[in-house]
Amino acid sequence: MKDNPTLQTLFHTKAKELWECPQKYYWRNHLWLIPKAKNPNFERGSFVHQVINHAILNQQETLLPPDACLGASLIQNEGVFQMTEEVEADAKAMTLELWDKLQEYEVIHTEKSISLDIGDGWIWKAKLDSIIKPKVSDELWQGEYKSTKVYASNLKRLYHTSIQPFLYLHIAREMGFDLKGTKMFVADKKACVVEDITCTPQQLKEAARFIKETKERAEEVEAGGVYPRNRTACISLISECPYRPLCVENAAPSYIEECANLMYVKESPIAHYGEGE
């Protein structure tokens, strides 16, 4: 493992794979197999993030008004993402609503990547959608962007029960960013709602413990060289694990190679550490 530093880089999606199904972790992080099929929801969200980031950078570097920066960014990203006309129309509408709401804040950083040294050659990476400051106060917050076709009233509750926002806040604070909490921008086609999510000292402790336990789990799995399959993660009510065809018991190496060549493209997992975060 010392010869492959990417294996000693952890982030939320990779940690989730490690705990959920070590076999999936192996396909993605040892053989670097990434599904070719694009998730429409992911493509839409990626479009929104890319356009907003580009527009913020333009606004910071030029004297153009916000609408002009956004318009130029929308044009530059035409055709970059694999979306149907309907999904692209949704993405553009959500981007407009999110951009309008963001004008109430000063963006200190956009798409901020941070890396925390967690010892023994391991690092934990995170990417913050933004670090923002309300124009009416001096408080710094993490800005998190969510795009959805229908605003879900339980999204805030789900986000509160996830370890993810508190991981980001813990890492950011360890890196010297004193963030009060997360402002979650939830944009649909007609509006953008901002939800404030603050954290307790206990939640920050849980985030630190999760990082420590994930590192220990990764060291254990890598040292043993065994990546067991968790069959309960193969199929849910709404989806099937894209790696399932590769997990046929006693499959010949030629079958694995054939599935990989037909279904996946090889990329460095480091390039994907921010996915879904």
Across the chain, mean pLDDT equals 87
Q: Which two tokens stand for residue 211?
A: 């990082």
**Torsion angles phi and psi, residue 112, rounded to 5:** -80, 115
d(CA 42, CA 98): 17
- Sequence-distant (6+) residues with CB within 8 A of 42 are 275, 276
pLDDT digits 0-9 by tens, 177-189 = 999 999 999 999 9
Q: Which residue is associated with the tokens 């994930």?
A: 214
For 181, the enclosing helix (H) or strand (E) is strand 181-187
Is beta strand 181-187 parallel, antiparallel or unpaired with respect to 192-198? Answer: antiparallel
CA distance 176 to 181: 14
Residue 265 pLDDT greater than 50, yes or no: yes
Question: Which distant-in-sequence residues (6+ apart) come within 8 Å of 19 by Cβ?
Answer: 214, 217
pLDDT digits (tens, 9 = 90+) for 116-141: 999 999 999 999 999 999 999 999 99
Whether the pLDDT of residue 142 is over 90: the answer is yes
**pLDDT over 50 at 269, yes or no:** no
One-letter amino acid of 248: V
Q: What is the pLDDT of residues 207-222, one digit of tens each?
A: 999 999 999 999 999 9
- Percent share of the chain, pLDDT over 90: 62
Lowest mean pLDDT across 133-142, 186-195, 243-252: 243-252
Q: Are 127 and 112 in contact (CB under 8 A)?
A: yes
Classify burial at 261, counting beta carbons within 10 Å of its beta carbon; exposed 0-12, middle 13-18, buried 19 or more. Answer: exposed
Q: What values do phi and psi take at 26, rounded to 5?
A: -65, -50
Give per-residue pLDDT as tens, 49-81: 999 999 999 999 998 899 999 999 999 998 888
One-letter identity of residue 16? K
Q: How much is the pLDDT for 276?
A: 38
Tell me the C-alpha distance between 127 and 53, whole Å.
13
Residues 6+ apart with CB under 8 A from 197: 156, 159, 160, 165, 181, 182, 183, 184
Q: What is the pTM of this model?
A: 0.85
Most confident of 69-73, 160-164, 193-197: 69-73
Distance CA 169, CA 236 (A): 30
What is the Rg, in whole angstroms, of the alpha carbon atoms belonging to the chain? 20
The answer to whether 37 and 242 are in contact (CB under 8 A) is yes
Please count the other Cβ atoms lying within 10 Å of the Cβ belonging to residue 11.
Answer: 23
Beta bridge partners of 240: 235
CA distance 29 to 179: 31
- Distance from C-alpha of 200 to C-alpha of 195, rounded to nearest angstrom: 16
- What's the pLDDT score for residue 187? 93
**Does 83 have pLDDT greater than 60?**
yes
